[in-house]
Structure 1
């Protein structure tokens, strides 16, 4: 007799563990990057690198309806990007631009991770694990892309202001 629910699988456990480890790693990296000089390259590279993940859709098992994908992207771009944009501030210090860390940033990232884990379990009851992973990738891409575009806009404004006051 097993104490685990019938719907539990070790793939599910592995998914939760990988998600938690990834979330902790991202949180740690974001905290280390804060209050350090940033560049155009440091802002643009993460979404470009992440975009290679769309190659997963070459595999048919990850295919989802277009409307689902667009909805996931829209949720990431609006609901999940907003707190990141609000807690990420670029500031000019001398000749460099730095990302100033908000005290709420760590709580926002942890909150987003918890919401993702809870929503993941709900979605996984309706569609397959690979499709769930694909939808959450699209959601995360929407979040990262919009967040980084907001940072890019602020970075360009700060650079433009510096040049105007020379």
Structure 2
């Protein structure tokens, strides 16, 4: 039953991410809106204060790098901005939905494999690092793209 509950929560989370992302395309964005998610998520590192979540440094590095290299790249490629009047908007991408669904499927498959080798708290720690490794480069790339776009319009206005 816990496996089914975990899968359902993951699917619910994925559906929420898709809905939020699609809705966000209807509102202007800002640098603050781009950088707040990784800052908020960084509080999750407090989990490592609990000994049950401790994992070897090499595992932690591997999970973070896997997120940064393999999972953030498709998100970076499908996140683009456009200027509409004086505001900047994140453009909708149909590929984003497909990528999120594929990432969820990969996560569900990997979760079962990882959970067989380590404890549930350690599995949570590994997947947190994987997710943080994914979101940090993605949001940094979005921030660079946003700053580049706003800088160009500031220069054009002067």
Q: Give the shorter-chain TM-score range.
A: over 0.9
* 2:99 matches 1:108: yes
How many angstroms does 1:25 deviate by?
1.2
Deviation by residue 1:116-144 (Cα, 9 ceiling, x = unmatched): 00011011111111111110011001101
CA distance in 2, matches of 1:131, 1:138: 11
Partner residue of 2:143 out of 143, 147, 152? 152
Superposed counterparts of 1:126-145, under 5 Å: 126-145=117-136
Partner residue of 1:45 out of 36, 39, 52? 36
How many angstroms does 1:94 deviate by?
1.5
Number of residue pairs matched by the alignment: 157
Superposed counterparts of 1:11-30, under 5 Å: 11-30=2-21
Structure 2: runs of 5 or more not aligned: none
Higher helix residue share: 2
CA distance in 1, matches of 2:57, 2:3: 25
- Which residue pairs with 1:84 in the alignment? 75
Partner residue of 1:54 out of 45, 49, 62? 45
Partner residue of 1:71 out of 45, 62, 67? 62
Q: State which structure, 1 or 2, has the greater radius of gyration over its C-alpha atoms.
A: 1
Q: TM-score, normalised by structure 1?
A: 0.91
CA distance in 2, matches of 1:116, 1:34: 25
Moved over 3 A (4+): none
CA distance in 2, matches of 1:97, 1:111: 28
How many angstroms does 1:85 deviate by?
0.6
Deviation larger for 27-36 or 137-146: 27-36
CA distance in 1, matches of 2:46, 2:93: 34
Structure 1: runs of 5 or more not aligned: 1-9
Q: TM-score, normalised by structure 2?
A: 0.95
CA distance in 2, matches of 1:99, 1:151: 9
Cα RMSD (Å):
1.0
